[in-house]
Amino acid sequence: MLLDLIHSCLTFQMALACAGLALCCYLVNLTYLGARVVTPVSVNYHFTRKCNKVCGFCFHTEKTSYVASEDEMKRGLRLLKKAGMRKINFAGGEPFLYPDKLAMLCHFCKKELGLESISIITNGTKVTKKWMEKNGQWVDVLGVSCDSFDEATNIAIGRGTGNNVKQLFKIRDWCRELGIKFKLNTVICTHNWEEDMASMIEKLDPFRWKVFQVLYVEGENDDKDEDVYLSKRKRNARKLLISDEQFREFCDKHQHLGSFVPEPNSLMASSYLILDEYLCFLDKGAGIEQQSRSILEVGVQKALNEIYWDQEAFSKRGGMYEWTKDIAGDGSEVGGCGPVDKTMEW
**DSSP character at residue 95:** G
Q: Establish whether 9 is a catalytic residue.
A: no
Distance, in Å, from the CA atom of 342 to the CA atom of 235, rounded to the nearest integer, reads: 30
Instruction: List the catalytic residue out of 18, 24, 51, 189.
Output: 51
Q: Establish whether 51 is a catalytic residue.
A: yes
What is the C-alpha end-to-end distance of the chain, expressed in Å? Answer: 78
Distance, in Å, from the CA atom of 235 to the CA atom of 205, rounded to the nearest integer, reads: 32
Residue 120 near residue 97, CB atoms below 8 Å: no
**DSSP three-state, residue 2:** helix
Residue 96 near residue 130, CB atoms below 8 Å: no
Distance, in Å, from the CA atom of 119 to the CA atom of 140, rounded to the nearest integer, reads: 6
Instruction: List the catalytic residue out of 55, 109, 175, 189.
Output: 55
Strand-strand pairing, 280-283 and 274-275: antiparallel
In the chain, alpha helices (H): 2-34, 70-82, 99-107, 129-135, 151-157, 164-178, 198-204, 225-230, 244-254, 265-268, 295-298, 300-304, 311-316
Helix 70-82, helix 99-107: angle, nearest 10: 30
Q: Pick from 87, 88, 94: which is nearest to 67 by CA?
A: 94
**CA gyration radius, the chain:** 24
Instruction: List the catalytic residue out of 58, 106, 175, 280.
Output: 58
Q: Pick from 333, 343, 129, 147: which is nearest to 240 by CA?
A: 147
Q: Establish whether 25 is a catalytic residue.
A: no
Strand-strand pairing, 290-294 and 280-283: antiparallel
Active site residues per annotation: 51, 55, 58
